[in-house]
Amino acid sequence: MTIKIIYFALLGLILCFHPTAFAFAGYQFSPQQDSSSSSKGVVYVQSLSADKKKPKKKKVKVLTEEEKELKATKDWIKEKTRSEKALAKQAKKEKAVQKKQTDTSTGNLSQEEEIRLLAKTNFQAGPTKAQPKNHQNCAYSFDVTDEFTGLRKTGLYPRTFFSYTPKEYRKFLEEDDFIRCEGFLSRSSKGNMALNINFYVASTQAVSKFGNIRKRSPLILYTMNDKEFVLMSYQGAKASIDGNTTVYQCSYAINKLDLKKLKQIEIDRVKLSFEEGFQTFNVYYLDFLKDQFDCFN
């Protein structure tokens, strides 16, 4: 009797810890089947990468070294000239206020002041700055072949590009201008084109004010609709003295991507970069480039 009690006590302990122990006791144990759908309680994990479409990679244009340098220069110029535009805008506002306050009566004006008022423009004496009628339009000043490279180079005769004389200098320079710039286009047999300038200043001290023109310095052409084109100098230019005049002779490469556009533009202003900073000049010969590009067709 005691042995049976001990046996059933041990069997009860074993069943508490493992239901399959019924097998050892000679009992058959069959777990109850779930009558619900076999899919109940089953979690399906969707693959995150198998069916997901990979985004298309955008094609990145690879810029050449010339295009990279040109882009960097344009960005630098825009940043550099931002303050200049702000100052010019402020000066324009102040000028408009002064104009309203000015008595427009011509009773006490001189003949010269009456002309200025009627013309509604800044008076600039000296030789005409409009399109010259006496230039040799398509005459070449040189047409040579380099004996080392075999490249043929052609260039037109220089013609007036722009000029400038401060009002306070006009009494000392009755005929000539204080600053005068001539320019002409040239082309090589490879199709590369350049704008060449001869920049004259009627002073032997100009280099102390302007400095020289560095290699890879920008020349900016502004159109009538305020678009801009940047040309880069080849070797730059050092100032030379010719009598009482300081002379700069410099060549600027024309980007091939801009050639078609430059053939159609009218130039309104030009900005030159010297060691001491930028200098901006108005251009009155609007078709300066258009007249010359036709010579190379």
Would you list the DSSP string of 69-127?
HHHHHHHHHHHHHHHHHHHHHHHHHHHHHHHHHS----TT--HHHHHHHHHTS----SS
CB contact set of 166 (below 8 Å; sequence gap of 6+): 178
CA 284, CA 44: separation in Å to the nearest integer?
78
Cβ(69)–Cβ(216) below 8 Å: yes
Confidence of residue 127 (pLDDT cuts 50, 70, 90): very low
Q: How far is Cα of residue 182 from the mean position of the Cα atoms in its chain?
A: 25
User: Would you say 203 and 46 are in contact if contact means Cβ atoms under 8 Å apart?
Assistant: no
pLDDT tens for each residue of 224-255: 888 999 999 999 999 999 998 999 999 999 99
The torsion of the CA quartet 113, 118, 121, 123, rounded to 10 degrees, works out to: -30
Lowest mean pLDDT among 119-123, 208-212, 221-225: 119-123
- Which of 162 and 109 is assigned the larger pLDDT? 162
- 129, pLDDT greater than 50: no
- Domain residue spans in the chain? 1-27, 126-296
**What percent of the chain clears pLDDT 70, i.e. is strictly above it?**
64
Q: Which CATH class is domain 126-296?
A: mainly beta
Residue 44 has pLDDT above 90, yes or no: no
More confident residue, 196 or 22: 196
Give one word for 70, left, alpha or beta, with left for phi > 0 and alpha for psi -120 to 50. Answer: alpha
Cβ atoms 294, 271 nearer than 8 A: no
Nearest to 228 by CA among 65, 77, 66: 77
pLDDT in tens, 49-94: 555 566 676 777 777 877 777 777 777 777 767 767 777 777 677 6
The pLDDT score that the predictor gives to residue 103 is 44
Residue 118 has pLDDT above 50, yes or no: no
What value does the mean pLDDT of the chain take? 76
249-287 tens-digit pLDDT: 999 999 988 998 999 899 999 999 999 999 999 999 999
% residues pLDDT > 90 (the chain): 36
CB 168 within 8 A of CB 177: no
Q: How confident is the model at residue 114 (pLDDT cuts 50, 70, 90)?
A: very low
Residue 1's pLDDT is 60
- Which tokens is 290 given? 């258009």
